[in-house]
Structure 1
Amino acid sequence: MSKSDYKHSTSKTNSDIKDLWQTPVEVYEFLNARFSFVCDVAASDHNHLHLNYLTESYNSLINGWSHLKGGYVFCNPPYSKILPWVKKAKEASDQGVGTVMLLPVDTSVEWFKTLKNTASEICFITGGRISFVRSDTKKKVNGNNKGSLYAVFNPRSFGECKVSCVDRDEIFSTYEKIKDSIPDKTLNAVWPKEVNSIFNLIESAKSLPAVLQLKVKQSINKMIIDRFPHDQMVIATQNLVDRMEAKA
């Protein structure tokens, strides 16, 4: 086993989905209630938990997520190679973007040493292991061979990394308390500041039905990810809104 990263040395999972596990919604919403995520930066079309998500085709390890200004992103990275994701989270933090990472517990490896030296907070999930969700069947699978932790990269935090614990039962009981008040993500997504900034420039966009406003913001976000110039994004968004109004 490499000492620089966590490997699936004892995993019996099919190799094509080893890195495509979905975070249990209870864990995600427990964290989202605190951090109000603006993006899921290590996701796929099948396992994302936020309407705003980056897939393998975007390649977060090359392009990063520092452009997602104004909030925290969620990151449950491929566990086959964690160290580059930790370094990318630190890079984003240095540029003002917070990251919360869900990771396995292994204090003996290189990525954990880097995590301890760069994150602002590490919280170990105690009292049991997390059962992740298979991306192909959407079913939780028991038998996780390691515990879990979440790490916070707070761009406004300085000093030593804070270490704490949270009981797994507390996570799940919190979810039960808040689940009925969780907004419909299709209507109440939290978007990066730049998405809302461009959307608000198009006055007529605000009068569109909620479902069309969502499509407009998704379009803006895609242009931001593709690094369109600001003026082009404004023009393209205005044209999109005009077409939607014409069809209404």
Structure 2
Amino acid sequence: MAINNGLFTSNTDMWATPQDFFDKLNAEFNFELDVCATEDNAKCSKYYSPEEDGLQQEWKGICWMNPPYGRVIGDWVKKAYESSLKGATVVCLLPARTDTKWWHDYCMKGEIRFVKGRLKFGESKNSAPFPSAVVIFGDKAKTNTLIAM
């Protein structure tokens, strides 16, 4: 069995959202802005690139976020939560790291949908080596709801 070595190492912290997975959520939320994307993996026509640094931008409307999964992930989740307090809805695809400070400080304040099984990110033939969750902040979130997707 061939293994995508880049998928199972720390060569990158960018995990491209599976299109079919995004499409289902987009049908529900009608996203307006991808807050953390590159030209190659943007899911919305309006997006913030690494050069624009989405952490420094104002997030408005209905936002999609699949952030880098490295050490800065907590900064992205904090920004998502804080943006929801200013009126944005932010739907986040995250590793289900329920043992982390950022998970307890922010994710537990949103709607959490655990993903059944493991996602296949980007063009990978192999599933991710971690479980995922969708966390929703804002008016469209159901408070303290745990849903298996």
In structure 2, the partner of 1:146 is 130
CA distance in 2 between counterparts of 1:161 and 1:64 reads 26
**TM-score normalised to the size of structure 2?**
0.86
Deviation at 1:116, TM superposition (A): 3.5
Match of 1:180 in 2: none
Q: Which residue of 1 aligns with 2:41?
A: 47
Q: Is residue 101 of structure 2 the alignment partner of residue 110 of structure 1?
A: yes
* CA 157–37 in structure 1, closer or farther in 2 if over 3 Å, else same: closer
Answer with 1 or 2: which has the greater Rg: 1
Distance 1:150 1:56 in 2: 22
CA contact (8 A) 1:86 1:114 kept: no
Shift of 1:164: 1.4
Which structure's residues are more often helix, by fraction? Answer: 1
2:114 to 94, 103, 124: 124
How far the C-alpha of 1:156 sits from its partner, in A, is 6.3
Q: 1:142 to 1:157 in 2, by over 3 A?
A: closer
SS at match of 2:14: coil
Q: Which amino acid aligns with 2:41?
A: N
For residues 91 and 121 of structure 2, the distance between their equivalents in structure 1, rounded to whole angstroms, comes to 17
Which whole-Å deviations, capped at 9, do the CAs of 1:176-216 have from their partners, x for residues lacking one?
A: xxxxxxxxxxxxxxxxxxxxxxxxxxxxxxxxxxxxxxxxx
1:59 has 2:76 as partner: no
CA apart distance, 1:98: 0.4
Distance 1:130 1:157 in 2: 22
Give the CA RMSD over aligned residues.
1.9
Question: Is 1:165 matched up with 2:145?
Answer: no
Q: Relative CO higher for 1 or 2, CA cutoff 8 Å, sep ≥ 6?
A: 2
Task: Give me the identity figure in percent.
Answer: 32
CA offset at residue 22 of structure 1? 1.2
- The counterpart of 1:87, out of the listed 69, 78, 85, is 78
State TM-score, norm by structure 1.
Answer: 0.53
Deviation at 1:157, TM superposition (A): 5.8
Amino acid at match of 2:36: A
Query: Hey, what's the Cα distance between the residues in 1 that align with 2:131 and 2:75?
Result: 21
Contact conserved, 1:116 with 1:161, CA < 8 A, in 2?
Answer: no
Query: How far does the alpha carbon of each residue in 1:78-110 deviate from its partner, in whole angstroms, 9 at most, with x for none?
Result: 000211111101111111110000011121111
Aligned to 1:214: none
C-alpha distance in structure 2 between counterparts of 1:152 and 1:142, whole Å? 26
Alpha-carbon distance in structure 1 between the residues aligned to 2:50 and 2:132: 23
CA drift of 1:40 comes to 0.7
Deviation at 1:34, TM superposition (A): 0.5
Question: Quick one: structure 1 residues 156 and 11, their matched pair in 2 at CA, closer, same or farther if it must change by over 3 Å?
Answer: closer
> Unmatched 5+ residue regions in structure 1?
1-9, 134-138, 167-248
How far does residue 63 in structure 1 lie from its aligned partner after superposition?
A: 2.3
Equivalent residue pairs, number: 142
Distance 1:161 1:35, change over 3 A: same
Cα deviation for residue 57 of structure 1 reads 1.0
